[in-house]
Amino acid sequence: MSRGLNKVMIIGRLGRDPEMRYTPSGRPVTTFTVATSRTWNSSDGERHTETEWFNIVAWGSLAEICNQHLVKGQQVYIEGRLQTRAWEDNNGNKRTSTEIVANEMIILGDRKDNLSSDQVSESEFDEEFPL
């Protein structure tokens, strides 16, 4: 049997504070953006920088943790899978959005409350977040 692989790992900075909401069934979902940058020198020696923006979605307790502990400008490691959604907007136009559905997050550098970095996995739903 053949298997596929859909795994994404990024390190970047939050472009905005996380926004948390709840589904009609009460499940928490948090969204935020992360920017990654790469720098290179062209053959003529000119320095170039390129920034890529990613939409991040976290569910369950990971959503609550992201909402509570992440802030704009903070550096994070995000691991998850790519997901593309399609819908029609209010004008009838077909729209698509590609996002990273996070299953792991590591806070890098200083947190807003200046505690040490911690790792959180989606599989740790029933555990308390270590402070």
Whether residue 125 is predicted with pLDDT greater than 70 in this model: the reply is: no
Asked if 129 and 65 touch (Cβ cutoff 8 Å), the reply is: yes
Position 65 pLDDT exceeds 60: yes
pTM: 0.78
Taking 90 as the threshold, does the pLDDT of residue 110 lie above it? no
CA 29 to chain centre: 12
Are 107 and 114 in contact by the 8 Å Cβ rule? The answer is: no
Homologous superfamily, domain 8-38+48-123:
Nucleic acid-binding proteins (2.40.50.140)
Res 109: pLDDT: 77
Contact between 105 and 67 (Cβ < 8 Å)? no
Of the pLDDT bands very low, low, confident and very high (cuts 50, 70, 90), residue 69 is very high
In whole angstroms, what is the distance from residue 108 CA to residue 98 CA? 24
Q: d(Cα 54, Cα 120) in Å, to the nearest integer?
A: 20
Query: What is the pLDDT of the chain when averaged over all its residues?
Result: 86
- Measured distance between the N- and C-terminal CA atoms of the chain, rounded to whole angstroms: 43
5-35 per-position pLDDT tens digit: 999 999 999 999 999 999 999 999 999 999 9
- φ/ψ of residue 33, rounded to 5: -115, 150
Question: Which two three-digit tokens encode residue 56?
Answer: 């991040």
Which residue matches tokens 């596929």? 4
